[in-house]
Amino acid sequence: MMTAPKTPLLDRIAGPPDLKALTDRELRQLADELRSETIHAVSRTGGHLGAGLGVVELTVALHAVFDTPRDRLIWDVSHQCYPHKILTGRRRRMDSLRQKDGLSGFTKRTESPYDPFGAAHSSTSISAALGFAMGRELGAPGNGDAIAVIGDGALSGGMAYEALNHAGHLGKRLIVILNDNEMSIAPPVGAMSSYLSRLYAQGPFQELKAVAKGAVSFLPPPFQEGAKRAKEMLKGMAVGGTLFEELGFSYIGPLDGHDMDGLLGVLRAVKSRATGPILIHAITKKGKGFRHAESKADGGHATAKFDVVTGEQAKAPSNAPSYTKVFAESLLQEAEADDRIVAVTAAMPDGTGLNLFAERFPARCFDVGIAEQHGVTFCAGLAASGMKPFCTIYSTFLQRGYDQIVHDVALQGLPVRFAIDRAGLVGADGPTHAGSFDIAYLSNLPGFVVMAAADEAELRHMVATAAAHDEGPIAFRFPRGEGVGVEMPERGVPLEIGKGRMIHEGERVAILSFGARLAEIEVARERLMARGITPTVADARFAKPLDRDMILTLAANHEALITIEEGAVGGFGSHVAQLLSDEGVFDSGLRFRSMVLPDSFIDQAGPSQMYADAGLNAEDIERRVLDVLNVKVLERRA
């Protein structure tokens, strides 16, 4: 059992109002205790560590100065919100973090009044905060200040600029805090990162710039005129907050985000005197105060349970390669044989396995930052130029680029290859990260080819299929985690487009699988055979185009047909039902069932538990077969 840190001040804090009674010195001590408590909590549950450690002082200062929850504190992405949760009455529940029926790993409106806006995707906070600010201006009750805390990585998302532009135009009181740690999940790329770096590279000018660039209105009147002259003088000497000021914001910073006295002073001044939009630029360190996180390239972004002393993570040994690794290695094989293959990710090179591609082919690998819309259209341009782009984005994040998928890729029939990681239910990250909808939102687009890998060997073949496909857009989806341990081919072989495969011949009922539930179907089939029922099992491979011949043959030769997929209603099963309806198959009495994710958002739990909640595990499949065949289920003997 790991010893809990001593936290005498934190033990007195039931909620943010208790911070008002503390002195500034005590607030500094509270921050130290909060950091230790955060490390201790995450060591027992796993989760996002580095981001929260980087905002400990900022979290304490914000709750000490502002009157939350009346003042709306909105965390962008919100993987940095664990210290916030500890301070807002949820400390005793931190052991349940990211577990079934426990605390979410992100902000969640239904969890606490101190979470005014839920988030887990990036770049939404300023838009939401502006909505709260305008609600206040228009008389909506219970709304005080609106404060958005956004990281420099999240600021690379275009939506953040749209919100900044709108807020500057409206000119109403709004507080944006730029939490600049030079690190999102991967080192942020592009001009914005360079711009922010230049802001604080001018060491000798920092204090004068803080006065000159936006803080002028907070000075006593006799000093304001001199400060304005200093501001004019410095315009040609330092970059300052010019971009933000041009957007209509008063700019304050850069500030040391771990200097409690400095943060308290600035926040108090802003709270008492700000009138229009304010941007406070705070420099922080991801993983601050925990050397095992600070020393990592990602600042200890996400971690399994770990030993606080050694930093060693408690990860079970792998019995099979992960799907992500199989994808990465397969793509490398294809890229070695074809120099037109390029890879694109949106701020997730490690998570998608493209870090391996970048090491081998740095000139052919692009991280566009947290900008999925741009990433999709960038791939469309690459495809139009004659390259073979693999747009490698998690299912949940690809949703952010859907208009571009439709308008820039599908409508023009461009051969962009979409490698969709984290398909299906993903476990502890919960519903915000589930890959529930891509089958439906891609399969309804004309000209799209949509595949799903049943196992890691199939994934290797699908990478080869995508590499060879030049006739239009093509997508293949695969889940998080380890493969099922099948024998791996040395090299992927392109599949025939729109052709599935028979797995087992049987009778009476056919089970048609699309994706990685095939392993559970195999278990269900063994259980059914013990009952004297031998289902036919087939792997569709393609949701679009469907294998019409195979599906119609299955329908003709069986009493019942069941489709199974790791996706929401409207996907593979719906397309199969449409085919059967169009062909008049239902007229002859076929019993058809479609097993999909339920019409609800499933809260976090272990993946197996989430699939149990969704009704897609082996016992659920067995039960559905028995039901469709009208087989009475008797109690089994112990």
Residues 6 or more apart in contact with residue 320 via CB below 8 angstroms: 456, 482, 483, 484, 485
Q: Is 565 a catalytic residue?
A: no
Active-site residue (options: 372, 458, 566, 622): 372
Strands (E), 94-186: 146-151, 174-180
H or E element in which residue 221 lies: helix 221-234
**Running DSSP on this structure, what letter comes out for residue 507?**
S
Q: Is 109 a catalytic residue?
A: no
Q: What does R_g of the chain's alpha carbons equal in angstroms? A: 27
SS3 438: helix
Active-site residue (options: 136, 400, 422, 541): 400
Between CA 191 and CA 154 the distance in angstroms is 14
Q: Which amino acid is at 170?
A: L
Helix axes 518-529, 618-628, angle to 10 degrees: 60
| 188 cis-preceded (ω within 30 degrees of 0) | no
For residues 521 and 617, is the Cβ–Cβ distance under 8 A? Answer: no
CA max distance for the chain: 93
Structure tokens at 369: 């930052």
For residues 160 and 150, is the Cβ–Cβ distance under 8 A? Answer: yes
Give the residue carrying structure tokens 């080819």.
Answer: 449
Residues 6 or more apart in contact with residue 520 via CB below 8 angstroms: 611, 616, 617, 618, 621
How many residues belong to the chain? 638
Between CA 244 and CA 176 the distance in angstroms is 11
Q: Is 400 a catalytic residue?
A: yes
Structure tokens at 570: 């409207």
Structure tokens at 516: 């990685």
Between CA 488 and CA 373 the distance in angstroms is 34
Strand order in the sheet with 591-595: 501-504, 536-539, 509-514, 560-565, 591-595
The residues with which 561 forms a beta bridge, in sequence order, are 510, 592
Give the residue numbers annotated as catalytic, written as ranges: 286, 372, 400
